[in-house]
Structures are given as structure tokens and as C-alpha cells.
Amino acid sequence: MKMTIQAPVSRQEHTLAHVVFISAAAALGGFLFGYDSAVINGAVDGIKGHFHVGAGVTGLIVSSALLGSAVGAAVAGRLADLRGRLIVMRLSALLFVISAVGSMFPFAEWELAGWRIVGGIAIGMASVVSPTYIAEIAPPAYRGRLASFQQLAIVLGIAISQLVNFGIASFAGGEVRGRLLGVEAWQWMLGVAALPALVFLVVTLVIPESPRYLVANNRLKRARQVLAEVEGEHIDLDARIEEIRGVLRSEHKPSVRDLRGPALGLLPIVWIGIALSVLQQFVGINVIFYYSASLWHSVGISQTNSLLISLSTSIINILGTLIAIMFVDRIGRKPLALIGSVGMTISLAVMAWAFSAAHKTGGTDVHIPHSHGMVALVAAHTYVLFFALSWGVVVWVMLGEIFPNRVRAAAMAVAVAAQWIANWLVTVTFPSLSEWSLSGAYIGYSVFALLSVFFVIRYLHETKGKRLEEMG
């Protein structure tokens, strides 16, 4: 009888598999970020009809979560330094659950906006602490790809939310106001978000705390154990501990005061982080993810097919993100960002041209000639592809890398809060802008995409392969 002996899994492979699991678990915060942000896309028409609200109020309801996100992002960094990264993740998971259940059963539009703000606080916390945690837990050689898990999780969350929306609408007879078990479809869309939030809460109970947080709080034995788990026992653990301690010795707990500098009151690197965040939003990407179903429906496509188009856009988003993950550690962050900026500029300009042929047919309905509509659809998918393979990933990777250790958490909080404020401005203005001129709105987004080209060339510095302790 022959015996087959399998080669044992090497210790290095086991370590890598373990750190991949930890990073993926933390990235569930990004999944909820994407899911909860984009799930509103399918519910927009239902909210309009249920509460009988116009463009201005619709924009406020859709964007209300982003106000909460700015608050959550602003407090998350300090809270993560005081109480630990895991505590903040668990708190955000609980807030996600509460928001989802409350949003499912609102009795007025202002109450729905309030529950969305609660969910936004959770989104803001997750958007800060998950990439920070992954950057701190990941070995330098794999940090770019592991940090990309955050953006991959975000786009998966967006795609799954659109798939769930499509499924719910289909079961409800193809209408977002159709009923399932006595509840309208759009309410189910918002309520189902509680399920992945509960999964996130459970996984945060089994992953380890960040070694940098542990060293900062003098929990050296546990820090040594975690470093051995994520970087391997072959490394000099004492040297790594001392390297981190050496950086932390001269530091105090970071706060916004630590970000002060000569460049208009802030350190130059903080302004670069803020500019990265703001430009990522001012190119208008979340207009696609928050309003596309309503937009395509307004030009004559059925609600079910509009949701299907939104799903296809989300799949393109995933493909672009996978491309970015493949190349972010190979060709670097700056080249990817530049490629994306050029691609977004061109595709947004084409969308602006296509929408220039749109005209109102009565009420708020808009008609686009078939040829222009096809061009707009292809350009929208191309735009999403270029965003996903570049700025969608690069911004989150670099925000976790570019700041020096002594101010990383505080600087990250400020940069991400700026991102949510910029996101809110774009989201709250789009319904009114689109009623005024769809083409004009996309001309504006294309101008910011063009500005991002010059920003990348002039101000962005490569961080590929550097230790976090080398930054700043």
C-alpha cells in the first residue's frame, strides 16, 4: 500500500495566510462602508414616492449619512488611540446594526435622515480605523496589496448592495415600492444591511489588536506575539519592538494640534492627504453609486433594468479594483494614480458631451437620444473602471502610509473627514445640478479630474516598499 505524504505548509506561508485572514476580517468594515453608502441607490425612487419629496430634500436624505461619516471619521482616530483599534471597529458594527433597523421603519423623512446619520457615523469610523489597522498589521512587502483589501471590500459591498436591491425589487414585482411581507421593497433594501454588520461584529472578537497600539500602551508581550503572528518568528522581534518604541518614545498622543504647520496652518503632508481625499470625491464617483438607478430610470429605463445597470457598474468597479491590487506593489502608487486621472478626465468629458443632448420631456423626466445614451453608458462604465484601478485603491493605500507615525491617526482622521465633507457636497448638490444641467455637472467633475493629473505629477511621492517608520 502506497502512502502519499503531503508537503507541510511552510511557516512563512502559514504566517502570510494568517495576516491575509486578519486583513480581510478588518476590511469587512470597508464592506459595510461600501454597502451602507450605496444601498441608498436602489431606494431613492421609493423614498421620493413614499414621502413625496423633491430634488432638494432627496439630496439631503441621501447625503445625510455623509454628515455622520465626517463626524465618525473625525473622532475615530483619537478614540482608536485611546481605546484601541478593535473597540472602534466593534462600536461601528453596533451603529451599523442600529442604523439599518431604524432606516427600515421610518415614519417621516427627517427620521430616515437621522438614522442615516447614525449609519454615517459608523461608516466614518470604519473608513478610518480599518485601513489604519491593516497598514499597522501588514508586513511592508505585502502592505500595498493587503491595504487594497479595504477598497476591494468597499467595491464588493457596493456590488452586493446592488445585487440585493435588484433581488428585492424583483421579488416585489419589479417596483421599489412593491410590498414584501407588508413592507415596501426600499425599506427591505435599507434593513438588510444589519446582517453583514453582525458578521463584522463577530469577526472583530477573534482578530488581534494592532502591534503599534500595543507597544504604545506598553503591552510588549502581546505586541511580540502579534508581530510573530503577522511578520513571522524569523524576524528579530526585539529589534522590531525597539524600532516601534524608538519612534513612539518622542511622541505624545496625536491630536489635531499636532498637525499644525507653516502651510496655511497645517503640515504640508496633511494638506496632501486632504487634497487626495477631496479630489477623490470631486471627480463625482459617488454620483454613480448613489444616483445611477434613479438617473437611468429617469431617462426611460425600467426600475428593474436601472438596478441591473447599477449592478453592472459595480462589477466593473470590482474588476478595476482587482487590477489595482495586482499592480499597486509592482508599478507603484503614483503611476496608477496618473493613469486613472487621465482616463477619468477623458471619460467624464465624453459623458458631459453625451448628456448635452438630454432634454426634459415634462416634469422631471429626461430624454436622451439612443446613440447619446449608449455613449453615456459606455463612458460611465469606462470612468468607473479608471477610477477603480487607480484613485479608488491608491488613495486608501496612501492615506494609511504617507503620514509619519507621530501624527498618523490624527492626520488620517482629518483627511478622511475632509473626504466625507467633499462627498457630502457632491451628493447633496447632484439632484439639483442634474435638474439644471446633466452636462454641466459632468463638465465640473471632468475639470477636477484634470486637476488631479497636475496634482499627482507635482505633489504625490511614491511610498511603495517603505516601512511606516520611514514616513515623514
Q: Catalogue the E-assigned strands of 347-394.
A: 359-362, 365-367
pLDDT: which is higher, 360 or 450: 450
pTM of the model: 0.73
The Cα 214–Cα 405 span in angstroms is: 14
Are residues 44 and 62 in contact, defined by beta-carbon separation less than 8 angstroms?
yes
Predicted pLDDT of residue 6? 44
Predicted pLDDT of residue 235? 74
Cell of 333: 502608487
Nearest 10 degrees: CA dihedral of 111, 114, 115, 117? Answer: 160
Place of cell 482616463: 343
- What's the pLDDT tens digit per position in 221-232? 888 888 877 777
- What's the pLDDT tens digit per position in 78-111? 888 888 889 999 999 999 999 999 998 988 888 9
The Cα 280–Cα 416 span in angstroms is: 11
Q: Report the alpha-carbon angle 121-127-129, nearest 5.
A: 100
Place of cell 448628456: 355
Q: Among residues of the chain, what percentage have pLDDT more than 70?
A: 86
Mean pLDDT, rounded, of the chain: 81
Predicted pLDDT of residue 301? 64
* Beta-carbon-side half-sphere exposure of residue 194 (alpha carbons within 13 Å): 14
Q: Which of the listed ranges 81-90, 173-182, 296-305 does the model predict with the highest average pLDDT? A: 81-90
- What's the pLDDT tens digit per position in 16-46? 777 888 888 888 888 988 888 888 877 877 8
At 149, is the pLDDT very low, low, confident or very high (cuts 50, 70, 90)? Answer: confident
